[in-house]
Structure 1
């Protein structure tokens, strides 16, 4: 019998079997069976109970024909059932396809069609979404309704299905490193959303890296508050909590109740939470922060966008040195840089490293590249590109997007920035945010930072609009702090000596609020649409 031909190094080719991610839950259930795994409103479930419920749902899905590789579309608000559906899918080797629950029926229908979903778990309050998804994706064979009741119109009730299969357990699927586990749909800020394929091997690395770089020392004695949809970054964050047996605490209602968030932090001695800068701002500016004990917090993690310096200072004054920033996209599962608590300084100065989003995460590498893919020297701006085990497998069924996203093995983020001599990364903006005024490139981030130092301004977004004289000019939309007033001319006069003239916005508008995504990020696409709807954009 002859041996297979060995590649270089003398190692025979083999498959890369890895741990099924659902094993994280099984491990915690074995080690801490009676500890609280998840809290939602007045109810809580132990690790043993959660593991048993996931077994039952996995068995139910298997009995309905779901097998390895099938895609399960999930349209649901945060709940214990929504969270369980992730692990039920993983156990079967199926692919979890969560939506942003705030999307329209038509948008969810597109996700069902684009993913090739064959089953759907849907919150009963979204009947139109289920109908639209089944029409667009005829491969969806059945719907299980969360909170649907015994006679639910959408399909069988989730908890009734769990009860019917209680005590059963479907075989845990064998998986390899590149087997998909999650279709992480991008936000679609430029065109329709794309399904980033996350895999079992990649996500095991990401969970480990989160625990290593973002919240070291996290154990089963910790608790994590969820203030964002589990469908995206918060779900990745909670996967790491499951891995180390930390309790997950869900907000009881759909609305973001800041006072309730602080009450839960005190009640459950919450030690970490995943947020975005706008949520940190809302939490730390609310009077409830001074009414509840939050001394248990060790890591308040924010991502999605850099935090404006003035907001950062305020949060540090209120919370102490517990802020952790990371930079990353869904395609890299948020896993590019980290700025730990020790490097968040209240006082300006060299130690503060103002404007940086940190250094490379463990096992990841950044390359700042020019338009030809050549690495540029430290201090020079270019496109932020990245490689490492956290990079996704590619976009599902989208070779054109994959060809654009990768160059010479590097994933192209589309963000612009530079690294200093020590490797700290500074983001200067999205390539798509840049506008050209009078022949000069303008990156709005710099001007936005200046505007936010005005004591009356709470939020700002600047975008480029067409101009017959200069090609493009900046339009700024601001939200003022409560009780403040400010005129357009006064703000521009205040700003003029602080920034180059060509970077000054031509117009400033004051709104009650800025449009935000379901994850709390300011969406310039929607601001532009609102400017147009109000008739504020110049004629072409």
Structure 2
């Protein structure tokens, strides 16, 4: 082995030793041992205690034979065990495989099999999910129950108690591309794929989050967790941990707006990460006016662009604290940022950027590519592509997906959009969302934005369905505001002059609520299936 710049060569492969991300927790525990690290109800876990518990779990997993590169699947709601499991996994040099706690037994079984999980950790009430993992994946060697264990399972609490006296756990040495997290896609266009996140990549992501999204937070900051730690909120929690900022977990498994605003007031919360649909719920709930939220500095939303009417309402309630970013799991959320000062109520304000999701994150590059891989000029719609240190190492054991996603030296997001002359990105929609009606491309977001300006409309989703005459025609699913009613004719009159007539939805469905994924997103493939099932019933 010989030194070569910052890397080392071993059997022809270049190795780049980097910091094990698990040591972010170790570092914080040394500096701020007695300060809160995680707050869940009345229970306060201080950084020193959290690190000791994580080290005990790491010792326990090593005693069970877990080694570098092994995959640890955890199926859990937001709790201290879910938080601890990632740090123990990272310190071991193993790979964290968190799931969405709302998925079915068959879905979690697929993730266990696809990830080749060797350990399954599951929350109280999900024994059936754990059993399904064991049946589907012959790689599973150990099952750890956060609640009461079944026969032949380990107790999470007992493992910690048995190993807590072993003291510090020395994190395993890692290289830049050593994986630490399988970030499974939501599967909106097929089976979920595991984006491989690495130690070196995550170090860049944490730095980028702190620079572009959360400048100035410190050990006195508090972050409210209102989304699953298994995905984007987990990355946000890791960034907060790097600064010693405590994460605050609500007691409720599902969003309780009264509790959320009460926690903001009680703990002086200055930042939170969520998605536009949850921002909408939080700001439209009467509780927003019942508690003091003046401590908030950053209400970060991602996962989908926020409709302009919802954005204005949130600004009126919260002030200029909104931060938007655009990113996918495969790019660890790091594509664009739209900071607070560019969120303006007045569409005509000098620095208002209406409809954009922002500009490229520090260290990242965006291009709009045509079907042949050529760059599109300003204002020309094409596929949004990105490259830079935040892009994942690829999809685990999926060469076909990698070949498709990494063409022409860029990561292909599958989203459509354009850049303006100043490099601000505007998203038109998913490639899979666009439909062709009578030979013309229709982009649903334009129609949705127009419909949301109607006084009766609270939520709307527009998508294409097969049509014998036009090839595809538009369908709109509409949720009205409380106490309001409207109909298809009124909404089409409202669209007059706002969008071309051929873009009007051919059918409207008026529902009491909009089904969403476990991450609070509207999944159009599910709505399309529901509408088509209804039409053929």
Structure 1 length normalisation: TM-score?
A: 0.96
Q: Secondary structure at the match of 1:72?
A: strand
Q: After the TM superposition, which of the residue ranges 297-306 and 461-470 deviates more from structure 2?
A: 461-470
Pairwise CA distance, 1:11: 8.7
After TM superposition, list the pairs within 5 Å mapping 1:54-93 onto structure 2: 54-93=54-93
1:145 touches 1:154 (CA, 8 Å); kept in 2? Answer: no
Give the distance between the partners of 2:458 and 2:169, measured in 1 at CA: 52
Pairwise CA distance, 1:496: 2.3
Q: CA distance change for structure 1 residues 154 and 482 in 2, over 3 Å: closer, same or farther?
A: farther
2:195 touches 2:392 (CA, 8 Å); kept in 1? Answer: yes
Pairwise CA distance, 1:535: 2.3
Structure 2 partner of 1:141:
141
Q: Secondary structure at the match of 1:463?
A: strand
Cα-to-partner distance string for 1:289-338 (whole Å, 9 max, x where unaligned): 01100000000000000000000000000000000000000000010000
Pairwise CA distance, 1:514: 1.2
Cα-to-partner distance string for 1:137-189 (whole Å, 9 max, x where unaligned): 121111111122xx645722211211111122443100000000000000001
Structure 2 partner of 1:167:
165
Structure 2 unaligned regions, length at least 5: none
Pairwise CA distance, 1:494: 1.8
Pairwise CA distance, 1:530: 1.3
Cα-to-partner distance string for 1:221-260 (whole Å, 9 max, x where unaligned): 1000000001100001000011000010011121211100
What root-mean-square deviation, in Å, do the aligned CA atoms of Structure 1 and Structure 2 show? 1.6
Structure 2 partner of 1:357:
357
Cα-to-partner distance string for 1:59-103 (whole Å, 9 max, x where unaligned): 000000000000001011110011100000001000000010101
Structure 2 partner of 1:235:
234
Cα-to-partner distance string for 1:515-540 (whole Å, 9 max, x where unaligned): 10101011101111211232269xxx
Give the distance between the partners of 2:48 and 2:150, measured in 1 at CA: 28
Give the distance between the partners of 1:11 and 1:185, measured in 2 at CA: 30
Give the distance between the partners of 1:141 and 1:213, measured in 2 at CA: 41
Q: Secondary structure at the match of 1:356?
A: coil
2:208 touches 2:361 (CA, 8 Å); kept in 1? Answer: yes
Asked whether 1:444 is paired with 2:444, we answer yes
Give the distance between the partners of 1:154 and 1:482, measured in 2 at CA: 51
Asked whether 1:300 is paired with 2:270, we answer no
Structure 2 partner of 1:312:
311
Report how many residues are paired: 531
Pairwise CA distance, 1:498: 1.7
Q: Secondary structure at the match of 1:252?
A: coil
Pairwise CA distance, 1:507: 1.0
Structure 1 partner of 2:250:
251
After TM superposition, list the pairs within 5 Å mapping 1:453-472 onto structure 2: 453-472=453-472
Give the distance between the partners of 2:345 and 2:169, measured in 1 at CA: 52
Pairwise CA distance, 1:504: 0.9
Q: After the TM superposition, which of the residue ranges 273-282 and 165-174 deviates more from structure 2?
A: 165-174
Structure 1 partner of 2:264:
265
Structure 2 length normalisation: TM-score?
A: 0.97
Q: Secondary structure at the match of 1:220?
A: coil
Structure 1 unaligned regions, length at least 5: none
Give the distance between the partners of 1:310 and 1:523, measured in 2 at CA: 21
Q: After the TM superposition, which of the residue ranges 126-135 and 138-147 deviates more from structure 2?
A: 138-147
Cα-to-partner distance string for 1:93-134 (whole Å, 9 max, x where unaligned): 000000101010110000000001111111121011011100
Q: Secondary structure at the match of 1:518?
A: coil
Q: CA distance change for structure 1 residues 306 and 110 in 2, over 3 Å: closer, same or farther?
A: same
1:130 touches 1:154 (CA, 8 Å); kept in 2? Answer: no
After TM superposition, list the pairs within 5 Å mapping 1:15-164 onto structure 2: 15-148=15-148, 152-153=150-151, 155-164=153-162
Q: CA distance change for structure 1 residues 5 and 198 in 2, over 3 Å: closer, same or farther?
A: closer
Q: Secondary structure at the match of 1:134?
A: helix
